[in-house]
Structure 1
Amino acid sequence: DKINEPFAAINADDFYGRNSFRIIADYLVSSESKTDFCMVGYQLDKTLSEYGHVARGVCKTGHNNFLNVVTERTNIEKLNDKIVFTEKDGQQVELTGKEIVSMNLWGFKPSIFDYLENYFRKFIQKNPDNPKAEFFIPIMITELIQNKQARIKVLESRDKWFGVTYREDKPAVVRRLKELVDQGLYPESLWK
């Protein structure tokens, strides 16, 4: 069975903020094209871990803030008050920190399943003996854009993203969630 309504797809270990879900829902409800999808983007410097490198999808947008390409950068970190990513050959490239990145908060319509099924089948064929192979949604999205099969509106969030990349990130995440509960923005228990 397929999902028959617009929906959001998220990472389970990330906190995106209440407003991020509001803007993605508003876009999905107002957009009429079945191949207009969206993602919520965050400013790179607000998404880094203090405890090591992170992987981020660096976004390039065009007219009306529609996505042109997402480039997966798997080794971004703070080094000596700079933000850099390290290429596979060891070369370091400095980033400004103002780049908009994907944190995998995507807004889709049911038509995405036709694309997902096709791309996932190709992924399995390319990785038959690699149980650790990872299917990156941004790579599929970039191909859809290049083939003019879909458009992705980049919605910028002012919410503070946080998540657990490293074990050492957990205490700060627990503290921030408690602050949101103490402010009355979230209940103490989501499930009773």
Structure 2
Amino acid sequence: MSAPDGTARAITLVILAGGRGTRFGGAKQLEPVGPAGEALLDYTIRDASTTGFSRTVIVARSDIDDAIRSHVSRMHPDADITVVCQDRHGPHRDKPWGTAHALLAAAETIPGPFATANADDYYGAGSLALLAPLLSITDAGSSDWFLVAFPITGTLSASGPVSRGVCQLDDDGQLVRVTEERVQLSPRGTIQTVDGTEVRPDTLVSMNLWGLAPPVFDCLASGFDPFAAAHLHDGEEYRLPDEIARLLSAGRAGVRVVRSDAPWAGITHRADLPGLRRFLAELDRTRPG
């Protein structure tokens, strides 16, 4: 549902930065990858500010809270940035509760339409520019949402298998579900799951670049307490794609999938860093101004 008066709304970017980076071996949220020591989230904050987002909320962990605050205040002194800690919400568990819980932890800071983004992904201004105009005319009470999805061929790592959310769409381009798969390049150069099933290179995958509105919070809140009670000790994650799929199947929301052909980059393995740094150096070299 669009804003009833047709006016543009202020929109927020929510960066999910609470993961532990187990496969990477450290806090990749702040790993310096740009020529001036930028982390990937710095590129996303900058691109968001140039494409129509008015503020940023970063969901972090208590043990990196001070480091995140210090970093963003130095890199973005004039930006409107709020930092919240995921582990201060809900019952304590050593392993973070997952992306749906991270978003729920930020609920009180988000009054209107918003986008989500991973701290360890580079989406580019082109991808954020697909979401911003849609969100700016979306009513705060809307349950008609968006997902920017990428062709899987541009989201793989030469360093090993990666987890990707494979999108299933209906004939109208609406999301049916997102199924997480471990995928990799085969020795023949094809894309396949780790069990050997081939995947088409134009298959669309979610990289958590969602466009949502506040009604999602009540839905996430109603599901989290029973999930937490059932999984306090087993490490299962309360994942945003799973919860949105549950809402879709119940007819409580709709998600329009928007394809982005903008370059994507990210960090899964530490071996990804040299290629990522070359990509960002070239990006900065060719950026206008």
Secondary structure at the aligned position of 1:41 is classed as: strand
TM-score (norm 1): 0.87
Judge conservation of contact 2:146–2:211 (CA < 8 Å) in 1: yes
Please show how residues 14-25 of structure 1 align to structure 2 within 5 Å. 14-25=121-132
Deviation at 1:134, TM superposition (A): 2.2
Secondary structure at the aligned position of 2:147 is classed as strand
Match of 1:161 in 2: 264
Matched, 1:93 2:197: yes
CA contact (8 A) 1:77 1:84 kept: yes
Structure 2 unmatched ranges of 5 or more: 1-107
Shift in Å at residue 136 of structure 1? 1.6
Match of 2:242 in 1: 139
Deviation at 1:5, TM superposition (A): 1.3
AA at the equivalent of 1:163: G
Q: What is the deviation of 1:2?
A: 4.3
Partner Cα distance (1:170, 1:134) in 2: 26
- Matched to 1:184, the amino acid is R
Q: AA paired with 2:219? A: Y
Q: Is residue 6 of structure 1 aligned with residue 113 of structure 2?
A: yes
Q: After TM superposition, give the deviation of residue 175 of structure 1 in Å.
A: 1.4
Tell me the residue number matched to 2:173: 65
Deviation by residue 1:47-94 (Cα, 9 ceiling, x = unmatched) = 000011011111111143110111111x211112121113xxxx4211
- The alignment status of 1:175 with 2:278, answered yes or no, reads yes
**1:71 maps to amino acid:** T
> Equivalents in 1 of 2:265, 2:143: separation in Å?
29
**Alignment size in residue pairs:** 180
Q: More strand by proportion, 1 or 2?
A: 1
Read off the aligned partner of 1:99 and give its amino acid letter.
T
Provide the residue aligned with 2:208 in structure 1.
104
**TM-score, structure 2 as length reference:** 0.59
Greater relative contact order structure (CA < 8 Å, 6+ sep)? 1
Say whether 1:83 aligns with 2:187.
no
**How big is the alpha-carbon RMSD for the aligned residues of Structure 1 and Structure 2?**
1.6
Query: How many angstroms apart in 2 are the aligned matches of 1:133 and 1:50?
Result: 28
Aligned to 2:102: none
